[in-house]
Amino acid sequence: MLESNISLKPFNTFGVPAIASNYLKITQEHQLQELFDSHGFPAPNLTLGGGSNVLFTKNYSGCVIHIQIKGIQHFIEGSNIYVTAGGGEIWNDLVWYCVDRGFGGLENMALIPGTVGASPVQNIGAYGAELMSYFHSCRAFDKQNGEFVTFNNQQCKFSYRDSIFKTTYKDRFIITSVTYKLSLNHQINTSYGAINQELQKRGVSSPTIQDVAEVVSHIRVEKLPDPSTVGNAGSFFKNPIISREQHDQLKEKFQDLVSYQVDASQFKIAAGWLIEQCGYKGKTFGQVGVWKNQALVLVNQGQAKGIEIYQLSEEIAQSVYNKFNITLEREVNIL
């Protein structure tokens, strides 16, 4: 049922106020087809999942289409497991559905907020794993032609925090379900960050996928603010990728620069380090601020408006550019 003048404050993890002119909850994929067939799609429209990667800077004068399609199924073929989940399933619930059954692959991405339907959009990733390694296919509704289409892994053109759904097909498809290809013979990956350290602390020498999911969840809770108490959307910016030449010049000037080699000619720079060097970490500016344990996370101190968070992000990006000659690109979708 189409509703009018709905508050989006409970539907975005920044917890900023915004009103949607129209709002529609979708619990079954056939509702999308019916909507298209009856009146054509309302325009403009915005597909919303958990609202954990959006920043509303103003009211939304269109129709918010809130995806709440549920259901998880799997089938096993040899040592491969194909798990299909509705676009509105909570990502972390899917992770634990898999962990509880011994299906390996998603455990390093435990506790990432948001929905299954959004997971391919920016090719979510954390703690040494990326969705693209486990994504098999997704089913999506084409708002332009009114039909369902299946995308395989290659067609999604995944790369770091990017996919075809953010570029060529931005705002065109609504992802209604995703199928992941997991394994019963999965090789556990504990190489990133503090995972090994935390396993050692717990006296775990042969970790299971459950141990990895638990440890990753623990590290995340320590480092990142919980959106239910402090509004945020995780990393506000992407980690920038720069040329080897620029990297080497910076490294000479800033010996403690935090960087990772991507390939022979490119390096990824820790944006959190860049922002910290500009003096923003843990700082508060009225109702907005920069998280004390992670400078890449901008926070709502309680009563922030979206535009104030956006303005802080502009100031930070300018400051990083002035000091390092690096342009930060936002990860969060600005509306």
Which residue among the candidates 119, 177, 235, 313 is catalytic per the annotation? Answer: 235
Decide: is 235 part of the binding site for ligand EPU (CB under 6 A): yes
**SS3 assignment, position 17:** coil
Answer yes or no: are the C-beta atoms of 128 and 106 closer than 8 Å: no
Q: Which span sits near ligand EPU by CB under 6 A: 82-90, 136-144, 174-182, 268-276?
A: 268-276
- Rounded Cα gap, residues 182 and 82, in angstroms: 6
Strands 19-26 and 60-67: parallel
Answer yes or no: are the C-beta atoms of 116 and 86 closer than 8 Å: yes
- Rounded Cα gap, residues 125 and 118, in angstroms: 12
Q: In one letter, which amino acid is 45?
A: N
Answer yes or no: are the C-beta atoms of 136 and 157 closer than 8 Å: no
238 binding partner (options ligand FAD, ligand EPU, none; Cβ < 5 to 8 Å by kind): ligand EPU
Decide: is 92 part of the binding site for ligand FAD (CB under 6 A): no
Instruction: For the chain, give percent helix, strand, coil, nearest 5.
Output: 25, 30, 45
- Rounded Cα gap, residues 261 and 259, in angstroms: 7
Active-site annotation holds for 161? yes
274-303: contacts with ligand EPU (CB under 6 A):
276, 281, 294-296
Decide: is 118 part of the binding site for ligand FAD (CB under 6 A): yes
- Rounded Cα gap, residues 175 and 166, in angstroms: 13
- Rounded Cα gap, residues 253 and 220, in angstroms: 32
Judged by CB under 6 A, which of 66, 238, 247, 305 binds ligand EPU? 238
Total residues binding ligand FAD (CB under 6 A): 34
Decide: is 333 part of the binding site for ligand FAD (CB under 6 A): yes
Decide: is 326 part of the binding site for ligand EPU (CB under 6 A): no
Which of 110, 66, 112, 67 is closest to 89 using CA atoms?
67
Per-residue binder mask for ligand EPU (CB under 6 A), 183-222, x = binder: ----------x-----------------------------
Per-residue binder mask for ligand FAD (CB under 6 A), 12-41, x = binder: -x----------------------------
Residue 255 CB, nearest distance to ligand EPU (Å)?
13
Which of 94, 122, 89 is closest to 109 using CA atoms?
94
Q: If you ran DSSP here, which 8-state letter would residue 96 be given?
A: H
Residue 206 CB, nearest distance to ligand FAD (Å)?
26
User: Closest CB to ligand EPU among 79 and 200?
Assistant: 200
Decide: is 96 part of the binding site for ligand EPU (CB under 6 A): no
Decide: is 137 part of the binding site for ligand FAD (CB under 6 A): no
Answer yes or no: are the C-beta atoms of 306 and 317 closer than 8 Å: no
For ligand FAD, the binding residues (CB under 6 A) are: 13, 46-54, 67, 87, 112-115, 117-119, 121-122, 124-126, 165, 173-175, 224, 227, 232-234, 333
The residues assigned a catalytic role are: 161, 235, 331
For ligand EPU, the binding residues (CB under 6 A) are: 126-127, 193, 223, 234-235, 238-239, 258, 270, 272-273, 276, 281, 294-296, 331
